[in-house]
Amino acid sequence: MYAHGWDERNGGNISLLLDEAEAGDYLDLNHVIRTIPTGFEAPELNGKIFLVTGTGKYFKNVQYDPANNLGIVRLIENGTQAELLWGFTDGGRFTSEFPAHMMSHVARMRVNPENRVVMHCHPANLLAMTYVHDLDERAFTRTLWQMCTECIVVFPDGVNVLPWMLCGTNEIGVATAKKMETARLVVWAQHGIYGAGRDLDETFGLIETAEKAAEIWMKIAHLPRINTITDEQMHLLEARFGVKARDGYLS
Ligand code: 2HA
Ligand code: ZN
């Protein structure tokens, strides 16, 4: 993600739900280093263990010093407290976007119990698009679908969009989770994007595909368009790849 330029400085954050038995193979789950208040409630996540990036930490440094830049936490007391089991060795804590991450996990798990990843980053073309494209979710999604043949196959549920909101708050967490009920991608206008999926590859791939489409759009938006992918062709893709486009998004 850093190599793609999606995570400048301390931009971006990831949370990965760990399997308890798997985490127990590596960690003493009875040894709590310290307890950190979360500032929100998420009873559905009681006892769940997450690997999560740290606040103020740079993605580019994760590979050199994972134990300082990442942490493993277990949510307790209805999600109001997080027990640090590993990491954040300099006394740090989880990303400022922890509420958006945890609330999004709850929302996506309801749709797909296999969901394990929430990923946030600042991809340049998607961000650029939010300055010049209508933020209507259907219009935004249709534009992306038209930019690469595979888009509708990769994200048939489309891309939801939040208007600019103050980041790092419970309010944007609640709003993001609400948007996650109907799509695995949520754009934060003038800020970045959230993706959710079963594993890191799937989630990365979702964002990568949407960002590629946005890049194409930024290359062509100012030029007269003489070709496109038609809705009729989108229906052929649905049939060929066994996907169903979001209701009402195709004619
Ligand atoms: O600083 O990306 O949204 C990390 C962020 C905040
Ligand atoms: Zn951000």
Instruction: Note the pLDDT of residue 160.
Output: 99
Single-letter amino acid, residue 42: A
Residue 155 belongs to a domain with what CATH number? 3.40.225.10
Which residues make Cβ contacts (< 8 Å) with residue 60, sequence separation at least 6?
2, 7
Residue 182 and residue 235 in one domain:
yes
Percent of the chain with pLDDT over 70: 100
How would residue 198 be classed by pLDDT, with cut points 50, 70 and 90? very high
Residue 141 and residue 230 in one domain:
yes
Instruction: Note the pLDDT of residue 67.
Output: 98
Asked if residue 103 is part of any domain, the answer here is: no
C-alpha to C-alpha distance for 105 and 117, rounded to whole angstroms = 7
With tokens 């089991």, the residue in question is 85
* Alpha carbon of residue 1 to chain centroid: 12
Residue 44 and residue 126 in one domain:
no
Mean pLDDT, the chain, integer: 98
| DSSP secondary structure letters along 52-111 | EEBTT--HHHHTT-HHHHEEEEEEEGGGTEEEEEEE-TTS--B-TTHHHHHHHHHHHHHH
Residue 71 and residue 182 in one domain:
no
Asked if residue 104 is part of any domain, the answer here is: no
pLDDT digits (tens, 9 = 90+) for 73-113: 999 999 999 999 999 999 999 999 999 999 999 999 999 99
Provide the number of structural domains found in the chain: 2
Instruction: Note the pLDDT of residue 208.
Output: 98
Residue 173 and residue 68 in one domain:
no
Task: Quickly list H helices, 112-180.
Answer: 124-132, 137-147, 151-154, 170-180
Asked if residue 77 is part of any domain, the answer here is: yes
Residue 91 and residue 135 in one domain:
no
CA of 238 to the centre of ligand 2 (A): 33
Asked if residue 20 is part of any domain, the answer here is: yes
How would residue 184 be classed by pLDDT, with cut points 50, 70 and 90? very high
Asked if residue 43 is part of any domain, the answer here is: yes
Alpha carbon nearest to ligand 1 atom 4, residue:
11
Residue 86 and residue 135 in one domain:
no
Q: Show which of 95, 126, 142 is a domain's final residue.
A: 95
70-76 and 81-87 beta bridge pairing: antiparallel
Reply yes or no on whether 150 is catalytic.
Answer: no
List, as ranges, residues with CB under 5 A of the ion ligand 2: 192
Name the residue range of residue 72's domain: 15-95
Residue of 14, 57, 59, 96 to test ligand 1 pocket, by largest number of atoms within 8 Å of CB: 96
Ligand 1: atom nearest CA of 191 is 3
Residue 56 and residue 129 in one domain:
no
CA of 26 to the centre of ligand 2 (A): 30
Ligand 1: atom nearest CA of 56 is 1
